[in-house]
Amino acid sequence: MKRARVAHGGAVHEAVPHRDGLQLADGRVLAEEAVVWLPPIEPLGTILALGLNYADHAKELAKELTPSAKDEPLVFLKGPNTLIGHRGQTRRPHDASFMHYECELAVVIGRTAKNVKCNDAMAHIAGYTVANDYAIRDYLENYYRPNLRVKNRDGCTALGPWLVDAADVPDPGALALSTHVNGKRMQHGNTRDLVTGIAELIEYLSSFMTLAPGDIILTGTPEGVVDVQPGDEVLCEIEGIGRLVNTIVGDDAFGR
């Protein structure tokens, strides 16, 4: 099942896909453009994000990486302020020289996970959605340890449009990802190329922290990131999960 959260008529509604757009829980059918799309999960829990979790993307940035002595996933935290929904706007600051998208499979935890072993990890997932986690490369302290200004800017992460039940995704480890900028495909990959797979991530994270229902894990992006500018429309698509559309705007749109 696919479901979304949208705002319409001064209230927040649950919605499901419909051939004419989407259908609210009260039965009304609306066009996709008639609502404000919210992240499909209310961001009340922890948001964890993976850096350099595709080997090709790590190679893409190889000249800029700081070597690490530890062979562990690169994980960082994001605040709820970072999330916006489908068809939302992300600001490109005037001083940014290189800002890029990151199409990612987002995993939503459904059951409390603590010290979970890899073989049992997938049973703790509620579902999946699409994430686009923007980064401004020139804001990085270095290209191995993302800092707050890169990954915790307001509205820098689009999420949605749908939360797809885990039971409806038979193999999340073999999903095609792609990103189109103004209709031109710029990025493509497949979750089979994750350096640390979903089950392994849950085992690793739950070994030192408790994952709670509603927590979100962004699993990383493949190679193919390019600079985006105000006015660009960015579409991130993951096979069987959905198509997430987002627009880049300048400082003026936010009164800055």
The residue-averaged pLDDT of 60-87 equals 77
CB atoms within 10 A of CB 253: 14
Given a cut of 60, whether residue 189 has pLDDT beyond it is yes
pLDDT band at 245 (very low <50, low <70, confident <90, very high): very high
Strands (E), the chain: 2-8, 11-18, 21-24, 29-30, 36-38, 47-51, 74-78, 83-84, 88-91, 99-100, 103-109, 125-133, 135-136, 157-165, 176-181, 184-190, 216-218, 233-238, 242-249
Place of tokens 């500018």: 229
Given a cut of 60, whether residue 67 has pLDDT beyond it is no
Which DSSP letter does residue 211 get? B
Which DSSP letter does residue 87 get? T
> Considering the domain 1-38, what is its CATH architecture?
Roll (2.30)
Which DSSP letter does residue 69 get? S
Given a cut of 70, whether residue 70 has pLDDT beyond it is no
Per-residue pLDDT, 149: 87
The pair of structure tokens assigned to 213 is 């229902």
Contact 194, 52 (CB under 8 A): no
User: Right CATH number for 41-254 from 2.40.128.20, 3.30.70.2190, 3.90.850.10, 3.30.360.10?
Assistant: 3.90.850.10
Place of tokens 């493509």: 188
Per-residue pLDDT, 208: 97
What backbone torsions phi and psi does residue 205 show, to the nearest 5 degrees? -65, -40
- Do the two domains 1-38 and 41-254 of this chain adopt the same fold? no
Given a cut of 90, whether residue 251 has pLDDT beyond it is yes
Place of tokens 């690490």: 68
What does pLDDT average to over the chain?
Answer: 92
Between 143 and 21, residue with greater pLDDT: 21
For 167, how many CA atoms within 13 A lie in the half-sphere containing its CB? 3
- In Å, what is the CA distance from 230 to each residue of 100, 117, 150, 179? 12, 44, 18, 17
Q: Give per-residue pLDDT as tens, 107-138.
A: 999 999 999 999 999 999 999 999 999 999 88
d(CA 243, CA 86): 9
% of residues, the chain, pLDDT over 70 = 91
Domain boundaries, the chain: 1-38, 41-254
The pair of structure tokens assigned to 153 is 């800017």
pLDDT band at 69 (very low <50, low <70, confident <90, very high): very low
Name 150's bridge partners: none
Between 68 and 9, residue with greater pLDDT: 9
The residue-averaged pLDDT of 156-178 equals 98
Between 64 and 100, residue with greater pLDDT: 100
